[in-house]
Amino acid sequence: MIEIKNLSKTYGKNKNAVKALRDVGFTLPDKGFVFIVGKSGSGKSTFLNLLGGLDDVSKGEILVNGENICKLKPHELDNYRNYFVGIIYQHFNLFEEDSVINNIKIASDIAEHKANDDEISILLDKLDLKDKKESLVRELSGGQKQRVAIARALIKNPNMILADEPTGNLDSKTSKLIFNILKEVSKEKLVVVISHDVN
Ligand code: ADP
């Protein structure tokens, strides 16, 4: 379980200060599909960055299974980001000139969770990417790229997937497919999706 307590984030100081989050509090389950919806500038990305351990909080706590991640030592935070969290971005963040398989392998190398060929094969199958394995990312459609991004997040087998407007660049049919994949993933993991609208 994840408990968010009195979470605040202020960027800048004095008259340049921007209060992006003010005393936010709620609880997230261990698994399931959670949407955080709000208009642009309401603090959704800020929240996702804090939950993913990518930025410092100004005030408050993020308790992950009872442990406040805001107080972790640098190497503990690295472990949290590497093993607990998987992130999917709107703009995919892939190596466009490299192949699908290499993009997935690089993600598993960075996370220090060396995936074997069987694990990669199962994942490619699950995401319907098997016949695109050797294709360059730049040759793929938007939906296929987002499935590669999901594969990169899943290969390290994280407990939680954070997705920042994952269908923002996709048409509505492809968006539905991506949501169905994330819904499937959410049967076993916590999937937190931020969106300015719900498809
Ligand atoms: P959303 O994701 O809902 O569009 P953000 O979390 O990106 O909202 O932004 C919330 C507020 O914080 C906005 O006013 C934005 O301008 C501000 N903000 C976000 N990131 C920074 C930053 N790095 N420095 C200063 N202000 C920022």
pLDDT tens digits in sequence order for the chain, 199 residues long:
999 999 999 999 999 999 999 999 999 999 999 999 999 999 999 999 999 999 999 999 999 999 999 999 999 999 999 899 999 988 889 999 999 999 999 998 887 678 888 989 999 998 999 999 999 999 999 999 999 999 999 998 999 999 999 988 888 888 898 899 999 999 999 999 998 765 4
Measured distance CA(90)–CA(88) in Å, rounded: 7
Ligand 1 atom nearest the C-alpha of 38 is 3
What's the confidence (pLDDT) of residue 52?
Answer: 96
Residue ranges in the chain assigned as alpha helix (H): 44-51, 74-79, 100-110, 117-126, 142-154, 172-185
Cα torsion 181, 158, 129, 185 to 10°: value is -20
CB 102 within 8 A of CB 137: no
Is 73 exposed, middle or buried (CB count within 10 Å of its CB: 0-12, 13-18, 19+)? exposed
pLDDT recorded at residue 17: 95
158 CA from centroid of ligand 1 (Å): 26
Q: Is 108 exposed, middle or buried (0-12, 13-18, 19+ CB in 10 A)?
A: buried
Residue located nearest, by CA, to atom 16 of ligand 1: 41
Best probe residue, ligand 1, of 7, 9, 10, 11 (max atoms within 8 Å of C-beta): 11
Residue 181: how many other CB atoms lie within 10 Å: 21
Pairing relation of β-strands 160-164 and 59-64? unpaired
Whose CA is closest to atom 6 on ligand 1? 43
Q: Give the residues surrounding ligand 1 with Cβ less than 6 Å away.
A: 11-12, 18, 20, 38, 40-46
Going from the Cα of 192 to the center of ligand 1, the distance in angstroms, rounded, reads 18
Query: Do the bridges between strand 2-11 and strand 59-64 make them parallel or antiparallel, or are there none, so unpaired?
Result: antiparallel
- Atom number of ligand 1 nearest to Cα 196: 3
Distance 131 CA to ligand 1 centre (A): 39
Q: Could you give the angle at the alpha carbon of 82 between the alpha carbons of 101 and 4, nearest 5°?
A: 130
C-beta of residue 182 within 8 angstroms of C-beta of residue 163: yes
Taking the CA of residue 21 as reference, the ligand 1 atom at the shortest distance is 10
pLDDT at residue 198, rounded to an integer: 56
Position 78 scores a pLDDT of: 92
Atom of ligand 1 at shortest range from CA of 46 = 6
Our mutation pick for probing the ligand 1 site, out of 7, 45, 48, 87, counting the most ligand atoms within 8 A of Cβ, is 45
Rounded CA gap, 24 and 43, in Å?
Answer: 10
Query: What distances in angstroms separate CA 130 from CA 8, 26, 106, 133, 184, one per listed residue?
Result: 43, 39, 17, 5, 18
